[in-house]
Chains A and B, each alone.
Chain A
Amino acid sequence: MTPIAQVLVCVGALLIALAAVGVLRLPDVYLRMHAATKAASLGIAFILSGAAILLDDGVASVKLFVAIVFQFATAPVAAHVIGRAAYKGGVNLWKDNRYDELEGAATEPDDPVTL
């Protein structure tokens, strides 16, 4: 069991490092968000499951698995909210971006959709 857990921990840490590199190198907020949310959530899930296997404590392992579930429930919410706020706040898209499907939607005065 332990070698599997060690590989899980290493792969998870690598994914989080990749997410950080993506946040540093990608060209605009929306692409950075894509790196931050997906790669980092998967990395957290790998690290937490590796730690749950490495810990010889049933209660703590259950807590870590519940934490994975919460992570997958809350990370998309955060990404959605920050992306929406960035678009509404007028953050520009990348210059090579071809399609803006929300064009015009941000300027409507009474948008019924909230948060």
Chain B
Amino acid sequence: MIFVNIGLVLVVAAFAISLLRVVLGPSLADRAVAVDVCFFSVVAVFALLAARNELAAFADAVLIASLVGFLATVSLARLVSRGRR
């Protein structure tokens, strides 16, 4: 259990660090990449909570999140290129 707790702390730290890049990051593409890492860490938090509290329902959330997660990045990429492909 202690290892899962350490993992949770590390992943939340990763979320905070990449949020810093979202705030700083000069271009929109930087922000899109950083939001991608934020999303990855949210998925990781779901999985860790599922393992920690024996909540099998979180597995569904992880599955759906990893399916639709890249759609946000793709639509942000459309914004970065200002509508042009």
Contacts from A to B (Cβ < 8 Å): 5-7, 9-10, 12-14, 16-17, 19-21, 23-24, 29, 32-33, 36-37, 40-41, 43-44, 47-48, 50-51, 54-57, 59-61, 63-64, 66-68, 70-71, 74-75, 77-78, 81-82, 84-86, 88-89, 91, 114-115
Tell me if A's interface is mostly helix, strand, loop or mixed: helix
Shortest distance between the CB of B59 and any CB in chain A (Å)? 4
- Docked-complex contact B27 and A63, CB < 8 angstroms: no
Contacts from B to A (Cβ < 8 Å): 3-4, 6-8, 10-11, 13-15, 17-18, 20-21, 27-30, 32-34, 36-37, 40-41, 43-44, 47-48, 50-51, 54, 56, 59-60, 62-63, 65-67, 69-70, 73-74, 76-78, 80-82, 84-85
Chain A residue nearest to B69 (CB atoms) is A74
Chain A residue nearest to B65 (CB atoms) is A67
- Docked-complex contact A24 and B17, CB < 8 angstroms: yes
Contacts of A12 in B (CB 8 A): 7, 44
- Docked-complex contact B33 and A32, CB < 8 angstroms: yes
- Docked-complex contact B76 and A82, CB < 8 angstroms: yes
Residue among B7, B32, B56, B73 with the highest chain A CB neighbour number at 10 A:
B7
